[in-house]
C-alpha cells in the first residue's frame, strides 16, 4: 500500500502555520501574552506536555511561568496559587495540567480559574457557552480539530459525524462544535461510548469519524464506510520489539488497514497532537488581545 500526502491531514504542518500566525500577531501588536502552567505531581507524560508548552511559549515571545508542585500539594495551596495568577496582570492564561492527584477535587480547581483566563476552556462557563454557541474559550484539542477540518475544506454541513468517546476535554466539546448552526459545522452528530450497542453500526454510516476513546487501534477497516474522513485523537503506546524503546505510539484507529478506504485521515503522531499546543497559544493570544472577553 502506498501512503500519499493527498489523503493525509498534516497536523504538524497546520500547527506550524498557526504558530507562525500567532508569532506574527504578537510581533505586530507588540504585546507579550502570558501564561501560567501549573503541574502537580510526577506524571511523566504531564511533565513532557508542560515542558513542551513552556518551550513553545519561549519560541513565540510569550511570558510563561511553570509552577511545579509535589504530589502532596494540598488543594488549598493549589487554589491559592490559581488565585495569585487570577490577579496577575501579566498572566492572560492559566493552565492546570490534568490529571491531578486523587486528593484534589478537579472540578473545584477548574472552577477556581477565572473563566476569562481559562485558555483550556474547561470552566463550566466556557463549557456552557460552547454548548449554546456563544463566544468562549474552546478546549484546545477540539479547537485544533475544527481548524484541521476548516483548513482542509472537509465538508461538514449535513454530514453524519460519529464521535467515539464522551470526555469533557474532547468528545463532548467536538460533538457540540460540529452540531452548531455555523457554516463550518451543521453536522448530524452521534456520540458513541462504552455503553453503545454495536458501535460499528454507527461508524459504518459516518461521513466523518472522530476517534477519541484511548484504545489502541480500536477503529478497524470493516467498521468504516468507503470515502469517510477520520480524525484520530488517540495517543497509545503498544509493544513493538523492532523499536529500540520496545514500543511505538499509535492512535485509536487501525491506520494501515483503514487508509485505503478513507478520503482523508489524520496520522498519529503528527496529526491532532501538535494542534493542541498551537491552539493553546492561540487561545492565550486571544485572551491577551481580549478577543474573547473584555
Ligand atoms: N491533560 C490532557 N489533556 C489536557 C489538556 O488539554 N489540558 C490540560 N490542562 N490537561 C490535559
As given in the structure block, the three cell numbers for residue 242 are: 523492532
The tens-digit pLDDT sequence of the chain (294 residues) is 666 689 999 999 999 999 999 999 999 999 999 999 999 999 999 999 999 999 999 999 999 999 999 999 999 999 999 999 999 999 999 999 999 999 999 999 999 999 999 999 999 999 999 999 999 999 999 999 999 999 999 999 999 999 999 999 999 999 999 999 999 999 999 999 999 999 999 999 999 999 999 999 999 999 999 999 999 999 999 999 999 999 999 999 999 999 999 999 999 999 999 999 999 999 999 999 999 999
CA distance 144 to 273: 9
Tens of pLDDT, residue by residue over 11-57, are 999 999 999 999 999 999 999 999 999 999 999 999 999 999 999 99
Active site residue 120: yes
The CATH fold assigned to 140-275 is Rossmann fold (3.40.50)
Prediction pTM value: 0.97
**Phi-psi map region of 227: left, alpha, beta (phi>0 left; psi -120 to 50 alpha):** left
173: Cα within 13 Å, side-chain hemisphere:
25
Q: In testing the pocket of ligand 1, which one of 97, 168, 277 has its CB within 8 Å of the most ligand atoms?
A: 97
**Stretch(es) of the chain classified as CATH 3.40.50.10860:** 30-114
The CATH fold assigned to 30-114 is Rossmann fold (3.40.50)
**Stretch(es) of the chain classified as CATH 3.40.50.720:** 140-275
What stretch of H or E contains 65?
Answer: strand 63-69
- What distance in angstroms lies between residue 6's CA and the mean position of ligand 1's atoms? 31
- What distance in angstroms lies between residue 233's CA and the mean position of ligand 1's atoms? 13
As given in the structure block, the three cell numbers for residue 33 are: 501574552
Catalytic residue among 10, 118, 120, 252: 120
- 113 in Cβ contact with 123 (< 8 Å): yes
- What distance in angstroms lies between residue 201's CA and the mean position of ligand 1's atoms? 31
235 within ligand 1 shell (Cβ under 6 A): no
Between the CA of residue 56 and those of 21, 46, 78, what are the distances in Å?
Answer: 14, 15, 24
pLDDT value at residue 15: 98
The DSSP bridge pattern shows strands 229-232 and 264-265 to be: parallel
Amino acid at each position: 500500500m502506498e501512503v500519499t500526502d493527498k489523503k493525509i491531514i498534516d497536523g504538524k504542518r497546520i500547527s506550524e502555520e498557526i504558530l507562525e500566525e500567532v508569532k506574527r500577531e504578537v510581533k505586530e501588536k507588540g504585546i507579550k501574552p502570558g501564561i501560567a502552567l501549573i503541574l502537580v505531581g510526577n506524571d511523566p507524560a504531564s511533565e513532557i506536555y508542560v515542558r513542551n508548552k513552556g518551550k513553545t511559549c519561549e519560541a513565540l515571545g510569550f511570558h510563561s511561568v511553570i509552577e511545579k508542585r509535589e504530589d502532596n500539594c494540598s488543594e488549598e495551596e493549589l487554589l491559592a496559587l490559581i488565585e495569585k495568577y487570577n490577579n496577575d496582570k501579566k498572566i492572560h492564561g492559566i493552565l492546570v495540567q490534568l490529571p491531578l492527584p486523587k486528593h484534589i477535587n478537579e472540578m473545584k480547581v477548574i472552577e477556581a480559574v477565572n473563566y476569562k483566563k481559562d485558555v483550556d476552556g474547561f470552566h463550566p462557563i466556557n463549557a456552557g457557552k460552547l454548548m449554546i454557541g456563544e463566544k468562549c474559550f474552546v478546549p484546545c484539542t477540539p479547537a485544533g480539530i475544527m481548524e484541521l477540518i476548516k483548513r482542509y475544506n472537509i465538508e461538514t454541513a449535513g454530514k453524519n459525524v460519529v464521535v467515539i468517546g464522551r470526555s469533557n476535554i474532547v468528545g463532548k466539546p467536538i460533538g457540540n462544535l460540529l452540531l452548531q448552526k455555523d457554516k463550518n459545522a451543521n453536522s448530524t452528530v452521534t456520540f458513541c461510548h462504552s455503553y453503545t450497542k454495536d458501535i460499528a453500526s454507527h461508524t459504518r454510516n459516518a461521513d466523518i469519524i472522530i476517534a477519541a476513546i484511548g484504545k489502541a487501534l480500536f477503529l478497524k477497516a470493516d467498521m468504516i464506510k468507503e470515502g469517510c474522513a477520520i480524525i484520530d485523537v488517540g495517543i497509545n503506546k503498544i509493544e513493538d520489539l523492532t523499536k529500540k524503546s520496545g514500543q511505538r505510539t499509535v492512535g485509536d484507529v487501525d491506520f494501515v488497514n483503514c487508509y485505503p478506504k478513507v478520503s482523508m485521515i489524520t496520522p498519529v503522531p503528527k496529526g491532532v497532537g501538535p494542534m493542541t499546543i498551537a491552539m493553546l497559544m492561540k487561545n492565550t493570544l486571544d485572551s491577551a488581545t481580549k478577543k474573547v472577553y473584555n
